Amino acid sequence: MVGHAEQARQPAVYEVRVRGTLTRDLWPIWFEGMEIRPGKDGDTLLVGVVADQSALYGLIARLRDLALILISVQRIENDSP
């Protein structure tokens, strides 16, 4: 069984929901490797593999730098060994 510290260092698929619509010209620059999908009520979903917790915090910092409102962050990859 993998412990929490080890999981934090493993790649995982995340779904990040932000308020508003992201323009396509931002994704290659700010969200490389993430798929950007329209969500409910005008929200935007960023879905993709994040290398580790450090990269996840970096992604969240980019959202902050763009003054986007973070609604949710959800790990969607199966955690089974």
DSSP per position, 17-72: EESS---GGGHHHHSTT-EEEE-GGG-EEEEEEE-SHHHHHHHHHHHHHTTPPEEE
Each of the 81 residues of the chain gets a pLDDT tens digit; together they read 556 555 567 899 999 999 988 776 766 677 888 888 888 888 999 999 999 999 999 999 999 998 999 999 999 965 544
Please report the domains of the chain, with CATH numbers, ordered by start residue: 4-75 (3.30.70)
Determine contact, residues 60/17, Cβ cutoff 8 Å: no
pTM of the full structure: 0.78
